Amino acid sequence: MLGIVGTVPEERFPLIQGKAVFDGTRLSVAGRKIDVNRGTPALLAAACQMSGALGLDAPMAFLAGDIGLGHGSRELYSWLAGNVADCELTTMAFHYLQPDVDGHSKVLLAVQAMARPPRLIADAGFMYAAKMSGQSPEYELFTPDAGELAFLADEKAPHPFYTRGFILAEDNDVPELIAMAYRHDNAARYLLVKGRDDRVADKTGILFTVDTPRVEALEAMGGTGDTLTGIVSCLIQAGLSTPEAARLAAAVNRTAGALSDPDPASQIMDIIPCLPRAYESLISEHKVSQVRGEVS
């Protein structure tokens, strides 16, 4: 089963676990309704949509409320460190959590002690913590944007806010930044670098570039990176190799974006309903092998 760990931007939202259900407008987890605008709820909604298209079980959500003070994140770190071993998970995606090196290390230790450790995907704050802890190579996939890639490439930066001169790196700089991230052991086994062009890379360099369809307005839209992480998590759970999953996920996300015909004011809920149609169109038009079923 796919497990997704993250936060909901509500101060009083409790620590909950449960199967995520998306009804087309809102998420439900453990009887709680959750608005989808961006962040982990957007990732979960995308994962629910893709799970349906792929014939997977609904993803298991591990959530807490956090508006940036760190309380909910700390609860989640603590709960996972003590309980994750009892969860049957084959893939885990970690998302918006307050970066906390100690909390991260305890969770990673608990995951690695599982009888069958799941494949690990990290994005957003948890990816920052993974890099800061020096344990990036323990992960199967990171999904940084260009600014976050610059942070991974800078061996001294504790957060993207402090990344040295190349934080505003353009697409041309991505290959060198990828090399720097691997040189300093600050990258996962694979990287899916989100941007004007999406790049899939490993320590040997760029494996795939996905640059179509190109929709400029998506750069302004919050949540497109979240949906991409949700899609790739499902495709990995469905059994695709990580590079193939990353390549197809980038194509699905871009195609869904194009189908929604966005402008810079569009919101991520305009795109999420288009994901199954985008996936089906790629299967039929580009003869991508249909992915069905779930890895054990």
Partner 1 sequence: MALLSLFKKKPRARDDRSPWGRGILVFSNTSEVIRSEQVIKEAGFDIRVMGPPPQIRSGCDLVIEFPLIEELNILRLLRESSINVEQVVPVTDHLLKPVDLFSVKDFGDYLMVRAANMKITVHTQSLTIVNISGGGCPDVPYLAREMIGKPLTQAPSPGDIGHTLCGYALQLAYEEVRRRCSV
- Interaction site with partner 1 (CB under 8 A): 7-9, 37-41, 66-70, 72-73, 96-99, 123-128, 145, 147-148, 151, 156-163, 167-168, 216-217, 219-225, 263-265, 267
Could you tell me the smallest distance in angstroms from the CB atom of residue 123 to partner 1?
7
CB 239 within 8 A of CB 289: no
| Closer Cβ to partner 1, 55 or 68, answer by number | 68
Strands (E), the chain: 2-8, 16-22, 26-29, 32-35, 60-65, 91-94, 119-122, 141-142, 190-193, 198-202, 205-210
What Rg value do the Cα atoms of the chain yield, rounded?
17
State the nearest-atom distance from the C-beta of 30 to partner 1, in Å: 19
Q: How far is the CB of 29 from partner 1 (least distance, A)?
A: 16
Nearer to partner 1, 16 or 217 (CB): 217
Minimum CB distance to partner 1, residue 55 (Å): 30
Q: Among residues 126 and 182, whose Cβ is nearest to partner 1?
A: 126
Q: Which C-beta is closer to partner 1: that of 206 or that of 217?
A: 217
CB-nearer residue toward partner 1: 96 or 279: 96
CB of residue 292 to partner 1, shortest distance in Å = 32
Contact 178, 206 (CB under 8 A): yes
32-35: strand order across its sheet: 32-35, 26-29, 16-22, 60-65, 2-8, 91-94, 119-122, 141-142, 190-193, 198-202, 205-210
Instruction: Name residue 292's amino acid.
Output: R
